[in-house]
Amino acid sequence: MTTTLEMPQVHDCSATACAYNDDGCHAFAISMNSDAGCATFLSLNDKGGLDVVAQVGACQRSDCRFNESLECRAPSVRVGPSGTSGADCLSYQAA
């Protein structure tokens, strides 16, 4: 079982339209959906989150080489803007 200390950090997020992105992702943890989109993306004018660097937990992208038992095992993750989901996992690599 993965503990929060073992979860990969969001090294970089360039999805500036996300309410959790205030000079970096400040959600406690994010999830990636089956399209490698950030399921935690929230488009609001207000900025929120915690004084932490976000971590990645759940990952529904089963064909990613970093997906192990639906959890992300990448060393770190980069997230960027997307035209369809708001933000995508730029660290996705096909298995």
pLDDT digits (tens, 9 = 90+) for 6-59: 899 999 999 999 999 999 999 999 999 999 999 999 999 899 999 999 999 899
Residue 1 has pLDDT above 60, yes or no: no
Binning pLDDT at 50, 70 and 90, where does residue 5 land?
A: low
Q: Are 85 and 18 in contact (CB under 8 A)?
A: no
In Å, how far are 46, 49, 50, 80 from 91, measured between CA atoms? 27, 22, 23, 10
Q: What does the domain layout of the chain look like in residue ranges?
A: 4-89
